Structure 1
Amino acid sequence: MDYDSSVAGSEVPATCTKHAMVSAQDTPPTKKVRATPDASTAPAPPCSSSRTAVYPTPPPDRSFRVHIKPTTRFDVTTIPVKLVQQVIDRCLGTQGYQGFVIHKVSNTITVHLASLDDANKVCSITSIPISSDGTVTVHSYFASGPNVQRCVLYDLDQNDSPAPILRELRSPTHEVLAVRRMGKSRTYLVTVQGSSTVPERFYFNGCVLHPKPYRPRVMYCYRGFKLGHQQNYCPRATVDPERINADGKPRYRCGLCKADDHEIT
């Protein structure tokens, strides 16, 4: 009787040891199988809190966008998202609307919508509650959609508000969706829907108007010295005395570089 020296105190027949060695050599190699992680090591699913629920990736069918921005110097990121959702629900007749984004840089709220009718409804929003006893006045306007272009009309009647201009402005090739005055000038931004190009002409009270394509410029704030919004919509309460004079006007043409040899780029 032989003994296996690798196992002290155990009696193993020599024939059994030899058979085990031969069987191990004849066994074909097997592929390594990656173990499936158990529940304790598996990655956690994405958070589904109520705050992240109102910032989803817009569905493909929601291709119309409406921008909402305050008319006064107010930070829209301080508005509770639940209050914004309730305003949209009352406007559209929905419950728990999913599909709006709050932009900190531009200080705006973008609502993604599925139809032009819904976009027109959201454009009627003029205020958003910020507390139980306070509201902030906002301006809502149509931003983009399928086959939607924006163009600029110059030298319109200065006393006309956008509402009567929208009623009287006609295009033989496009549908006029929105008209917005740019600042206090006689220039108006017109949003139309039709072909992939801007209209060749408009008719306004019998007058033929030729539009120019709208090319948005870089928006720069001389109050907070940030890109993305204008000074009128800056939420900052204070200004930088190194860049602003006592009369409130900027010291430099380019506040980013503190230089006068170029505009802001």
Structure 2
Amino acid sequence: MECVVEGHTISAEEWSDGSWQPSPGFRAQEKRRLELRQATPHQNAAQQATATRNDMKPRPPPQRKRGPLPRMPADTIHIVGRPKTPVDLTKLPPWQLYEALLKAASLPDQPPASRDKLRVHPTNNTFTISVPDSVRAQAYLRITSLQVGDRTIEFHVYAPPPDDAFRGIMFNAYDSFTDDEILKDLQESNPSMPVVGGRRMGRSNHVLVTMLGDCLPRWILYHGVYIRLYPFYPRVEACFNCRKVGHRTDVCPHPKRNRCSRCGQDHPPTPQGTQPTCLARCIVCNGGHATNSSNCKYRFIKKPIPSDNAPKQAHNQEPPQQQPSILRNSRSPSQERSLPPPGQPQQQEQTSRSRSHTRRRYRSRSRTQSRSRSRSTSRFNSSSSPLPCSPNSSQGSSPSSSTPGPKKLAWAQGPPESLKASPTSSPDAQVRELVRENSSLKAQLSSQQSQISKLMSQIGNLTQYIQSLEAKLDRTIAQPPVTAPQPMEATSPPSQPQSQPAGKRKANTSTASLHAEIDIAAAVSKAVSAALTTLDAKFEARFNTLQQAIADTNSSLNALKSYTEATNTSLNTLKNYTEATTAEINARLERRQRSTTFGQPATLQAGPKPGTA
């Protein structure tokens, strides 16, 4: 398809002679394309690393969800063991670990009630044993390895400080002293401080001090020099072997891996003195920096440590309660809402410059209103007693608002003292108390009714059992008595034995055995009668107790009913008094308005002047 356009026709030689120039945009894109092609792979890797670093966002370290561990007794000695051999203590049989500890310490087993208590921490991969005896604790501290089954596990066993101890740091205070010398000097130089530990922090020049008490002191004497003591915040334990938080590398239960501690990839670490080529990745916050770096804001486990630097009001006094809005006469509600919370910079002042003049005018108007309101409020509070409030007094249009020394009316002092002393001074509180007592009495009554129903069911069961026993006794008594054989005369010739049937024999039961059976039946009947008498007495006592409880409950309900009626009467009295007072107020206001309208002085009943008794 051919298309005709406007222009000049040129030849093929003119088109291909190289005199044509591309557009500036095309030249810029071509130049950029050539530069990108000529870029080295190292620069590309650096750019990709920079882009990846910008995409990393720090976040708090993940916390493993687990239940709380059982607490060890506080009055015992705690011994902690960290394995030096890669092993997961949670997968070891607990009884084998306990027996291995006893065998390594050369200690006998104790009775089950007084055994040493062992606990395995699943996150830190450590064990803690609670020992009530110092001799056994010293034996456990001498352990260096355990033989669990066919495995030999090396352990580092130590006694940690108490749970309620505080730790502080003395920066740049180490000078070739052993840990025992450091602790001895701290204890002798500070006899008033309960110092329980002092050692060098790893290979640094800082000294870690552990002490008991309520707070951490600011200064401590060490080798004759007062050194500043700062609170110690432990770091989040991070493992460079499994790249997880909660335990250190030396106690990791997983096998050792040859991975980079900087990025976590499976390649040898960068030699010292060589510029690393991999991208750093923090184990704690997953940020683009090295683990435990000063750039990580989540590297410390910050807990509130009491210190004597803080004012005593923070420890001994309660925070001041919020005052009512009627006493805040220095700022308006709008300005109070614009204030930032404590501890944050006042960003509202910086951003308020860009707001419109209308908003400023509105603020000034609200400030003026709040000032006028605060002045009236302060004047109201400074008077000895509250003033009567009329509908026009809030707007300042009342004619008597400008007269000094306002008069007090007879009703301005509130209800009489007799009503103030009565329980109706706070009717809402009394009503709530009555409702609460009524609900509690109802609950007690329902519980007593349930107990009565249970006792009635038990009485029915016992009655059936007694009836069955009486039936058995009646059947036993209703049996015909066994007649004794008649004595034989000596003169009579011996009687010939009668012929017995072939299938029967004569009973050989004697008279003594029959009398014994009769005596046993009589004793059983006496025992049953005594048991029935005892049961009747118990039933009578229980019934009397229940009847007394029901009577007490009824009396309590009657008392509550009478108290409620008295309260209602008092409330009605107070209501009548309020209505009468309101009518008197309205009448006085009408007379006052009439006197003001006709230019006559108001005839009011003057009360005592302010400030007079």
TM-score (norm 2): 0.29
> In structure 1, what is the equivalent of residue 87 of structure 2?
75
Describe the SS at the equivalent of 2:181.
Answer: helix
Deviation at 1:227, TM superposition (A): 1.3
Amino acid at match of 1:98: D
The RMSD of aligned alpha carbons is 3.7
Deviations 1:221-257 (A, max 9, x none): 1211121122233232233567145117995331367
Within 2, Cα distance between the matches of 1:123 and 1:209?
36
Deviations 1:1-32 (A, max 9, x none): xxxxxxxxxxxxxxxxxxxxxxxxxxxxxxxx
Q: Aligned pair 1:185/2:204, yes or no?
A: yes
Within 2, Cα distance between the matches of 1:140 and 1:65?
9
Q: Which structure carries more strand by proportion?
A: 1
> In structure 1, what is the equivalent of residue 144 of structure 2?
127
Give the number of the structure whose alpha-carbon radius of gyration is greater: 2
Within 2, Cα distance between the matches of 1:153 and 1:122?
33
Amino acid at match of 2:234: P
Describe the SS at the equivalent of 1:169.
Answer: helix
Structure 1 stretch 151-160 or stretch 237-246: which is displaced more? 237-246
Deviations 1:186-229 (A, max 9, x none): 22332212x21123333322222222112222111121112112
> In structure 2, what is the equivalent of residue 243 of structure 1?
264
Describe the SS at the equivalent of 2:244.
Answer: coil
Name stretches of at least 5 consecutive residues in structure 1 with no aligned partner. 1-55
CA contact (8 A) 2:183 2:199 kept: no
Describe the SS at the equivalent of 1:203.
Answer: strand
> In structure 1, what is the equivalent of residue 282 of structure 2?
254
> In structure 2, what is the equivalent of residue 161 of structure 1?
178
CA contact (8 A) 1:123 1:142 kept: no
Q: Aligned pair 1:225/2:243, yes or no?
A: yes
Q: 1:85 to 1:151 in 2, by over 3 A?
A: farther
CA contact (8 A) 2:218 2:229 kept: yes
Within 2, Cα distance between the matches of 1:101 and 1:161?
32
Deviation at 1:126, TM superposition (A): 4.6
Describe the SS at the equivalent of 1:80.
Answer: helix
Within 2, Cα distance between the matches of 1:222 and 1:212?
29
Q: 1:256 to 1:187 in 2, by over 3 A?
A: closer
CA contact (8 A) 1:62 1:114 kept: yes
Amino acid at match of 2:167: R
Within 2, Cα distance between the matches of 1:94 and 1:264?
48
Q: 1:202 to 1:75 in 2, by over 3 A?
A: farther
Within 2, Cα distance between the matches of 1:67 and 1:105?
14
Q: Aligned pair 1:263/2:291, yes or no?
A: no
CA contact (8 A) 2:146 2:154 kept: yes
CA contact (8 A) 2:86 2:255 kept: no
Within 1, Cα distance between the matches of 2:136 and 2:227?
27
Within 1, Cα distance between the matches of 2:137 and 2:145?
17
Deviation at 1:125, TM superposition (A): 3.5
TM-score (norm 1): 0.60
CA contact (8 A) 1:221 1:229 kept: yes
Within 2, Cα distance between the matches of 1:111 and 1:120?
9
Describe the SS at the equivalent of 1:164.
Answer: helix
Deviations 1:25-61 (A, max 9, x none): xxxxxxxxxxxxxxxxxxxxxxxxxxxxxxx945644
Describe the SS at the equivalent of 1:215.
Answer: coil
Deviation at 1:260, TM superposition (A): 0.4
Q: Aligned pair 1:95/2:110, yes or no?
A: yes
Q: Percent identity?
A: 18
Q: Aligned pair 1:208/2:226, yes or no?
A: yes
Amino acid at match of 2:282: C
Q: 1:63 to 1:129 in 2, by over 3 A?
A: closer
Deviations 1:130-157 (A, max 9, x none): 3579451414132324x52222222232
Within 1, Cα distance between the matches of 2:146 and 2:221?
39
Deviation at 1:64, TM superposition (A): 5.1
Within 1, Cα distance between the matches of 2:109 and 2:219?
39
Describe the SS at the equivalent of 1:184.
Answer: coil
Within 1, Cα distance between the matches of 2:146 and 2:243?
28
Q: 1:255 to 1:133 in 2, by over 3 A?
A: closer
Q: 1:257 to 1:208 in 2, by over 3 A?
A: closer
CA contact (8 A) 1:172 1:202 kept: no
Deviation at 1:178, TM superposition (A): 2.2
Describe the SS at the equivalent of 1:142.
Answer: coil
Q: 1:60 to 1:192 in 2, by over 3 A?
A: same
CA contact (8 A) 1:124 1:140 kept: yes
> In structure 2, what is the equivalent of residue 108 of structure 1?
126
CA contact (8 A) 1:173 1:199 kept: no
Between Structure 1 and Structure 2, how many residues are aligned? Answer: 204
Within 2, Cα distance between the matches of 1:158 and 1:211?
17
Deviation at 1:108, TM superposition (A): 1.6
Within 1, Cα distance between the matches of 2:232 and 2:121?
22
Within 1, Cα distance between the matches of 2:248 and 2:132?
29
